[in-house]
Amino acid sequence: MVVLAIVLVVGGAFFLTVSAIGLLRLPDFYARVHAVGKSETLGTILVLSGLAVYNGWELSTVKVLFIMIFVLIANPTATHAISRAALRSGLAPWTRKKRPENKDRKGTEAE
Amino acid sequence: MIRQRYQSIIIQSICSLLIPFIQLFAIYVILHGHYGPGGGFQGGVLLAVSVLLQRLYLGKEVAYQKFPPKLALALGAVGMLIFGLAGIVPMAFGGSFLDYAYLPLPGVSGAELRYLGILIVELGIGLAVFGTLVLIFDNFIGGRW
């Protein structure tokens, strides 16, 4: 039981680390939101299920299960809302070739 | 469900699914504040959050019909009044401020009376925080109400 809990918590910590690295390293807003929305949900759920397994079957475990369901529903919805609002307010997704507004910004910086 | 232009069906359905559970949890936190973590302030914040979520996903016009800001003002004032009365009434009956043992409730005494006094004060704090936070949000987004 303890071994299973340790495996779950370590796996959740791995996914949380991956999402933090993605938040720091990915190029633009949409990619960062994508990193946070998926792997952080999975990491949180894995850590909480590890805690539930370690705790055994009692009232606190049921509360942890409710928190897991809430995170599973709410986190992707919040990500969806944020990225949709960004797209509708006109933020262009990142591409490899440089956008004209980037060139403009560089020109103003050179001046 | 109110359909508007450019409205996401995911956000609408998930928010309308989550709001009753948030309110239920808020009431649990208020009423369970003597035994566990929580209390009036946290429960009031959760209640306010449910109303603010409704305002965010429904838009100002529809949400103001469902929960008008004047109702928030009235609820905040009533909560403050409950807290003030629970503090001052024991002073009139010989105790000090917020001394629940001197509350003039018939039929209860001792520890039970203190328990009821804490519950009354928590309810007052919860209502006051709820109304005040909703009012702060309404003043932030502006407009006349």
**What's the gap in Å between the CA of A39 and the closest CA on chain B?**
20
Q: Nearest by CB to A74, from B6, B8, B18: name it.
A: B18
Query: Confidence class of residue A108 from pLDDT cuts 50, 70 and 90?
Result: very low
Residue B51 counted as domain residue: yes
Instruction: Specify the length of chain B in residues.
Output: 145
Residue B67 counted as domain residue: yes
pTM for the structure as a whole: 0.79
Query: For residue B6, which residues of chain A lie inside 8 Å, CB to CB?
Result: 88
Question: What percent of chain A lies above the pLDDT cut of 90?
Answer: 56
Q: What is the pLDDT along chain B (145 residues), one digit of tens a residue?
A: 444 555 788 888 999 999 999 999 999 999 988 787 888 899 999 999 999 999 888 888 888 888 998 999 999 999 999 999 988 988 888 888 888 888 888 887 778 888 888 889 999 999 999 999 999 999 888 766 5
Residue B125 counted as domain residue: yes
Q: B118-132 pLDDT, tens per residue?
A: 889 999 999 999 999
In this predicted complex, what is the ipTM? 0.71
Q: How far apart are CA B94 and CA A52, in angstroms?
A: 50
Residue ranges making up the domain that contains B105:
9-141
Closest of A84, A46, A25 to residue B7, by C-alpha: A84
Q: How far apart are CA B46 and CA B61, in angstroms?
A: 23
Q: Nearest by CB to B6, from A70, A81, A88: name it.
A: A88
Tally of domains in chain B: 1
- The ranges assigned to domains in chain A are 2-110
Can you give chain B as a three-state secondary structure string?
CCCCCCCCHHHHHHHHHHHHHHHHHHHHHHHCCCCCCCCHHHHHHHHHHHHHHHHHHHCHHHHHHHCCHHHHHHHHHHHHHHHHHHHHHHHHCCCCCCCHHHCCCCCCCCHHHHHHHHHHHHHHHHHHHHHHHHHHHHHHHCCCC
Look up residue A27 and give its DSSP letter: S
Residue B106 counted as domain residue: yes
Q: Centre a 10 Å sphere on the Cβ of residue A57 and count the other Cβ atoms it contains.
A: 9
Interface of B with A in 18-57 (CB under 8 A): 18, 21
Q: How far apart are CA A89 and CA B10, in angstroms?
A: 19
Residue B70 counted as domain residue: yes
Q: Nearest by CB to B11, from A70, A81, A88: name it.
A: A81
Residues B24, B35, A67, A75, CA torsion sign: positive
